[in-house]
Structure 1
Amino acid sequence: MTDAAPWRRSAHDGPDSPYRDAGPVADGPASYRTLTYEVDGRVARLTFDRPEQGNSITPDTPVELADAVERADLDPRVHVIVLSGRGKGFCGGYDLAASAEHLMDGQLAGDATPAGTVLDPTVQMHNHDPAGTWDPMVDYAMMSRFTRGFASLLHANKPTVASIHGFCVAGGTDIALHCDQIVIAADAKIGYPPTRVWGVPSAGLWAHRLGDQRAKRLLLTGDTLSGREAVEWGLAIDAPEPEDLAERTEALVQRIAAMPLNQLIMVKLALNSALLAQGVENSRMISTVFDGISRHTREGYAFQQRAAEAGFRQAVRERDASPYDDGGPATSNVTHRDKE
């Protein structure tokens, strides 16, 4: 910032700054497996970096995301945090190809999964055995840690912005809806199709973001919105054409970044107080429990078994067949506009 006005100074500039003795902050370890981290001026840029897998969620994702958000939140240089994805889309949800196909063979470990804990895939494998007794709290203890990592975006002191292109579906929405602002390409696809079988959105944020009827319209059908519709429905703040997404996101981010850091924190905390008073934490807890239940019903077991036999993609094709007929890149099945 070159403006001479004292309220435009960076938080760490000047002898009267409480951060005046702060040394340079490292831009992040190269050991992140699911995302990259960089600081550019007043902006921390977090980018999901598993493009060949659609940036699907692994056990490492919530841990690394929370670590990167905390790193940015503690850095006095950073005023705003931007989250995006490389490749064809923002995030395709949980790595269900691995989860559904390999849940019973213990192949789901993350980089540093503690053996014998609820994060150990062997523990979850035993708990998912249809012939055994399912302990819902073992499931909840695991899934709540995923959601807690995503919720770092909401609970960070600094504002967070999601920039969405291509697709943001299933568990990807558990991440994006925790951001303070969503900018989405007009032709992108956003929604939670797994409510048709084997899933409930654990973030519990849909009704808080959309209101009761519109949230139910999506989640009682598993239907999705295009980016244009997401803005019309109030789920996103802007829906530029895909070629303009980066420019429009950057324009918003730089306007936010120009604000004094303490002002940003106060405004976000004040507005979050209203959101949290609506019961977001309670919604998240209930939704996470129901997400576990949905994977342990007769239908949930049948879906997992079908994925193990025929492959996850085939099981999804069957899930999204008639009367839905909306698999793949179709961007709307609410108004039937913008379909490809």
Structure 2
Amino acid sequence: MPDYLDILTSKNDRHGVIQLNRPEKMNALSHNLRAELFNALKDFELDPEVKVIIIRGSGRAFSAGYDLSGISQANDDRDYVEKRSGLPSVGPIHPGQGQWPQHLLSGYWQIWELTKPVISQVHGYCLAGGTELATMCDLMFVAEDAIIGYPPVRAMTPVDVLYHPWQMHQKKVRELLYTGDSVTGKEAVEIGWANRAVPVDQLCKVTEAFAERIANIDSPMLQMTKRQVNRAYEIMGMRTSMQVGADIQELGRARPGGGTFGRMSREKGLKAALDWRDSPFEDYASAPAGSPKPSGATW
């Protein structure tokens, strides 16, 4: 496999590992990181020795979200599209308004369509775009104390990828998306968002052991089973609902007041914008002194 700048890759027994590797940025999902991630997934897809793929993060978080550098600088629709130059190749380009969420969906459907199961191994902060990546994997194993949530719905836009209704009860969907609040890894399992929660020091061992358990099934059988499950959810409307959700996300960005966060970020800096967004809730970037805080990317 090629050398990468923002991820690490390895093979252990019958599973491959892709490790997001921007720990100084809490694994913020830059365009380059996502491009490398998709390339590594394709490489493992073609490797006959790999039967299951694990995605995890370096440092103290899985991912704090999309890298906001540049994104929050967009001033109008033309700038908004221009800021998307250099996007990873994930299929359709979707130029014009609404390009960003549709582009994200094109990438996540690649994970969906891989023949091999993909497991997200989540620890620390898993926020906003980080939750989209983790959730769109086939399985999600989490640390009990992981912090998982989608704070951008407080002031920026509705969610880019509306996976929530397919993961948990309607009332919990509304609770989380009406507030942007987070849940712990343990709570994520209780509401159906994740498969298993274990102490963080056991997470790697448990996730890899389960990957090897899956690997006992021959690859053609796994491929057919994954396709069977995928198609059932597609018939129920999962793809269409996410595409419609992406269209509404764009409407949310264009709403009155929709440019406040970006303007504040340009004029006062990203930290000030995040404090403005989260201070009424006293969490995330505006948590009380002494509390752990994400920084740099919470889209």
TM-score, normalised by the number of residues in structure 1 = 0.76
| CA–CA distance in structure 2, aligned partners of residues 120 and 139 of structure 1 | 14
CA drift of 1:225 comes to 0.7
Paired residue for 2:219, among 236, 261, 268? 261
Name the residue aligned to 2:210: 252
Residues 119 and 139, structure 2, Cα contact 8 Å, conserved in 1: yes
Per the alignment, residue 140 of structure 2 pairs with 182
Q: Which residue of 2 is the match for residue 243 of structure 1?
A: 201
Q: What's the CA shift string for 1:37-89, capped at 9, x where partnerless?
A: 22222111111111111111122233322222121112111110100010110
Residue of structure 2 equivalent to 1:327: 284
Query: 1:306: how far off?
Result: 0.8
Q: Which has the higher contact order (CA 8 A, sep 6+)?
A: 2
**Alpha-carbon deviation of 1:97?**
4.3
CA distance in 2, matches of 1:68, 1:77: 14
Contact 2:122–2:142 (CA<8 Å) still a contact in 1? yes
1: CA distance, partners of 2:278 / 2:151? 8
1:62 lines up with 2:34 in the alignment: yes
Q: Which amino acid aligns with 1:103?
A: A
Q: How much does 1:329 deviate?
A: 9.4
Aligned counterparts of 1:295 and 1:268: Cα–Cα separation in 2: 35
Distance 1:274 1:181, change over 3 A: same
Identify which range, 32-41 or 255-264, moves more after superposition: 32-41
The change in CA–CA distance for 1:311 and 1:66 in structure 2 (over 3 A counts) is same
Within 1, Cα distance between the matches of 2:18 and 2:286? 25
Aligned counterparts of 2:97 and 2:146: Cα–Cα separation in 1: 32
Tell me, which stretches of 5 or more residues in structure 2 are unaligned? 87-93, 293-299
AA at the equivalent of 1:88: R
Alignment of 1:109-128 (within 5 A): 119-120=84-85
Instruction: Name segments (4+ residues, structure 1) moved above 6 Å.
Output: none
CA RMSD of aligned residues (A): 2.5
Determine the structure 2 residue equivalent to 1:81.
Answer: 53
Q: Which moved more, 1:255-264 or 1:82-91?
A: 255-264
CA distance in 2, matches of 1:267, 1:228: 28
Larger radius of gyration between Structure 1 and Structure 2 = 1
Q: Distance in 2 between matches of 1:329 and 1:83?
A: 29
Q: Distance in 2 between matches of 1:156 and 1:325?
A: 40
Aligned partners of 1:169 and 1:279: how far apart in 2? 25
CA offsets, 1:198-231, max 9 Å, x none? 1222222110111322212111111111001001
Q: How many residues align?
A: 280
1:85-164 aligned within 5 A: 85-100=57-72, 102-104=73-75, 119-120=84-85, 138-164=96-122
How has the CA–CA distance of structure 1 residues 141 and 303 changed in structure 2, closer, same or farther, with 3 Å as cutoff? closer
Pick closer, same or farther for the CA change 1:137–1:286 going to 2, 3 Å: farther
Structure 1 CA distance for aligned equivalents of residues 197 and 118 of structure 2: 17
Change (3 A) 1:203 1:142: closer
Output the CA distance in 1 between the equivalents of 2:36 and 2:235. 28
For 1:329 and 1:157, the matched residues in 2 are separated by 42
Percent identity (aligned): 30
| 1:199-278 superposed matches below 5 A | 199-278=157-236
Map of 2:13 onto structure 1: 41
Gaps of 5+ in 1: 1-27, 109-115, 122-135, 331-338
The alpha-carbon deviation at position 180 of structure 1 amounts to: 0.8
